[in-house]
Amino acid sequence: MAAIFMLFLKFFAGVALLALVVVLALLFDGADRVAHARMQRRVGPPVFQPVYDILKLAGKENIVPRRAARFFFMLAPWLALVSTLMVFLYIPVGSFPAVLGTEGDMILIVYLLALSGVAMAVGGFASGNPIASIGAGREITLMMSYEFPLAIVITTMAWVAHKCGMEGSPFSLETFAASSVWDAVGKAGDFGLLCLFLSLVFVVPGEIGKGPMDIPEAKTEILDGFIIEYSGVNLALFKITFALRSFAMAAFVTSLFVPASFAGLLGGWGFAAAVLDFLLYWVKVFVVQMVFVTLMRTAFGRLKIWQASRFYVMRVAGLSIAGMLLLSIDVLTR
């Protein structure tokens, strides 16, 4: 009986969370556009513009190109959206545990994000447009480039959590949300963590296809790349996916590296602290997104695909390996 009750609870919590996440992602996307515009001395769109866009697109018909592989073309947006949405079921929000925290960990999150990326690429290839194929090819290339530093960051973090005796499973995000990894290591370790943090921050634009890494979409080169043939509801789904991906990455970075919470301050007020942490969490995500997504995409132009690939494989991977070494030295020489 209790098990069924828990299942229902998780179901409702999941549905509520996902609804909240979609709305917040779109709002954050709107805020991103306004902030981007203000930094360029423009006025920018209303904050709700992404919501209006989605509503408008949702009322339009899907057009499937004659040369497209219809099944994959229609499947791709749904697959991308669902896999991105599922990420949020494994990310703890403030001091609330992740809805499905016991069923999956960081590795799953990375794979879900990769799955949605692959889904986008599949949609591009399936649309039968050479430009979309180029965009999809670029997406895959980019993904292969940033997965390596990303993997190093995650495994190193898990290893540190395990070695430093942080509570919980080393690969679970809750471990990092519950106690600060920055406190767990020494001076050299802090530098190492900083390297890992920066590597992850550099991976963010690639993962979400914005800023200097908007290569798969590159509208002045390949006209929005793999979504060129999409329209109507499918396009709306992709738009939500894009907003969710940057939101998910910001949430991921926040959970891993910014564990600040009110729990310590309001020790006795368990529930109030939890509610405040819940709100604080979104504020943190917002700040992370503003700094590492909006600022990045305002400050830089777009790289070419081989330049981006080299950047990830040489520079960012190097940085993450440096972080890994520093942390190893720190942890092993205790």
Q: Are 277 and 95 in contact (CB under 8 A)?
A: yes
Question: Is 212 near other proteins (CB under 8 A)?
Answer: yes
305 in contact with other proteins (CB under 8 A): yes
Residue 298 or 328 having the CB closest to other proteins: 298
Coil, strand or helix at 96: strand
Q: Which is nearer to other proteins, 42 or 70 (CB)?
A: 42
CB 253 within 8 A of CB 287: no
Q: Which residues of 82-114 are buried (b: 16+ CB within 10 A; e: fewer)?
A: ebbbbbbbbbbbbbbbbbbbeebbbebbbebbb
**Residue 17 or residue 222: which is nearer to other proteins going by CB?**
222
Residue 322, Cβ neighbours under 10 Å: how many?
A: 16
Q: What backbone torsions phi and psi does residue 96 show, to the nearest 5 degrees? A: -75, 135
Radius of gyration of the chain (CA): 20
Name which of 116 and 309 has its Cβ closer to other proteins. 309
Of 23 and 304, which has the nearer Cβ to other proteins? 304
Among 47, 82, 107, 131, binds other proteins (CB under 8 A): 131
Phi–psi pair at 280, nearest 5 degrees? -60, -35
Site size toward other proteins, by CB under 8 A: 27
Q: Which is nearer to other proteins, 125 or 281 (CB)?
A: 125
- The minimum distance between CB 35 and other proteins, in angstroms, equals 12
Does position 39 interact with other proteins (CB under 8 A)? The reply is: yes
Task: Pick the stretch among 22-30, 94-102, 111-119, 292-300 that binds other proteins (CB under 8 A).
Answer: 292-300
* DSSP assignment of 108-136: HHHHHHHHHHHHHHHHHHHTT-HHHHHHH
- Please tell me what DSSP assigns to residue 226: G
Kindly state whether residue 299 participates in binding other proteins, applying the rule CB under 8 A: yes
Question: Is residue 222 a contact residue for other proteins (CB under 8 A)?
Answer: yes
Q: Which two tokens stand for residue 31?
A: 């805020």
Q: CA-to-CA distance for 105 and 109, rounded, in angstroms? A: 7
34 touches other proteins (CB under 8 A): no
- Produce one character per residue of 146-184: b if its CB has 16 or more CB atoms within 10 Å, e if not: bbbbbebbbbbbbbbbebbebeebbbbbbbbbbbebeeb
The piece of 2-10, 99-107, 245-253, 305-313 that touches other proteins (CB under 8 A) is 305-313
Q: How far apart are CA 190 and CA 100, in angstroms?
A: 30
What values do phi and psi take at 24, rounded to 5?
Answer: -65, -40
Interaction between residue 302 and other proteins (CB under 8 A) = yes
Single out the residue of 54, 68, 89, 134 in contact with other proteins (rule: CB under 8 A): 134
Nearer to other proteins, 53 or 105 (CB): 53
Per CB under 8 A, 223 contacts other proteins: yes
Q: Quick check: 214 binds other proteins (CB under 8 A)?
A: yes
Interaxial angle between packed helices 70-87 and 106-126, expressed in degrees from 0 to 180 and rounded to the nearest 10: 160
Stretch that binds other proteins, among 34-42, 45-53, 179-187, 231-239 (CB under 8 A): 34-42
User: Residues 298, 322, 325, 329: which binds other proteins (CB under 8 A)?
Assistant: 298
93 forms bridges with which residues in the sheet?
Answer: 96
Q: Verify binding: residue 293, other proteins, rule CB under 8 A.
A: no
Output 203 or 324, the one with its CB closest to other proteins: 203
User: 264 or 301, CB closer to other proteins?
Assistant: 301
**What does the binding site for other proteins look like in residue numbers (CB under 8 A)?**
39-42, 130-131, 134, 137, 212, 214-215, 218-223, 298-307
